[in-house]
Structures are given as structure tokens and as C-alpha cells.
Amino acid sequence: MSDTITLIGNVSTPPRHSVTNGVDVTTFRLATNQGYYDREKREWVEADANWFTVTAFRQLAKNTVQSLEKGQRVIVRGKLKVRPWNTGEKSGTNIDIDAQSIGHDLTRGVTRFTKVDAPASATGESGGPGDATDPVEPSGPGGRGRLADDGADVPWGSITSTEEVEGLEASFRASSSVDS
């Protein structure tokens, strides 16, 4: 059994990319902080950070190494792997995330999305409509953008907690299963 987890944190090391047995792999360290607001002191109190090693494979690995830099705030969703280790002199626990998706936390800034070409088929044909580079740009500061379907102007929401992310994911899964 594997557990899926969603984390919001800071990229703490430059993403490292390699190819192992023909598979693209990118890893980086992610620090999450359990800070809270102390109402009596009227200030944010920083608690100890939790550290995770995030590993992305294949196309996600390629996209990650091109998109992320040390210090950026990101949202990572993936499978949790807890692995104890022992060298004889020292022992500890590694907490790893096999990433399924990674993206910038848009509550902290803006980003630009560029769609990656779909891999060519065995006959050399392209992946079909919409496989060309397709940048999506915000319509400017203030958090408004365009919907691709009907062009209506919509406000971009701010996700401020893991619970909101999980709620949005649950809503998406529920609507997707109805359409199937």
C-alpha cells in the first residue's frame, strides 16, 4: 500500500537531473514549515522544518529541472515512502516523495506555462491537435486570467492550505468520474 501526500514547501536544493537506465530522473530537497501566527505576540512563529527528498521521473523529471529553482515555493503531490537506514555508526529515516505532479505555489507569485510537445508516434506523426508549444499568460497583475473554452474572464483563486488543495482534488475526481 502506498500513501499519496500533498505538500507545500520551498525547493531547498537545485534540482539534479540524471538519466538512469534510459529513464529521466530529477531530485530535489523540499522543506515544509509548520509555522503559525501567535495572536498574543502578533507575529509569525517559525517551527522546525520537515525535510523531504522529491523524485520525479520521465517527462515530469524533464519539466521539473527546466522549471524549478532553489528557493521557489511549490506544491508537490506524490507517493510517500518512509525508509529507515543504518550505517552501523548512525541511523535515521529518509522521507521520500515519488512525485506525480509538481507546480509553483501561485499564492506567492506568477508563472508562465508552456505546453510540451506530445511524443511522436511510431510512424513519426505528431501527437495531434494542441501538441504545439502553447504559452498561457495571465492578463496582468490582480489575479485575472482567461478560460480557454469560452474566453470568459475569471478570478484566479488563492489556495492557502493543504485542505483546500485536497478539497479541489476531491471535487475534480468526483466530476471526472461522473463524466466517464
Which domains are delineated in the chain?
3-106 (2.40.50.140)
pLDDT for 81-123, tens place per residue? 999 989 999 998 989 999 999 999 998 888 888 888 766 544 4
Please, which pLDDT band fits residue 2 given cuts at 50, 70 and 90? low
* Mode of pairing for the β-strands spanning 153-155 and 144-146: antiparallel
Q: 128 CB contacts (<8 Å, ≥6 apart)?
A: 118
Please, which pLDDT band fits residue 136 given cuts at 50, 70 and 90? very low
pLDDT for 101-110, tens place per residue? 999 999 888 8
179: cell is 463524466
28: cell is 530535489
With 70 as the cut, is the pLDDT of residue 75 above it? yes
pTM of the predicted model, to two decimals? 0.60
Instruction: Please report the pLDDT score of residue 170 as a whole number.
Output: 55
- Residue with the larger pLDDT of the pair 151 and 59: 59
pLDDT for 42-62, tens place per residue? 888 888 888 999 999 999 999
Instruction: Please report the pLDDT score of residue 114 as a whole number.
Output: 86
Average pLDDT, the chain: 74
| Average pLDDT of the segment spanning 3-12 | 92
Cα angle value 7/155/174 (rounded, 5°): 55
pLDDT for 122-131, tens place per residue? 444 444 333 3
Instruction: Please report the pLDDT score of residue 79 as a whole number.
Output: 95
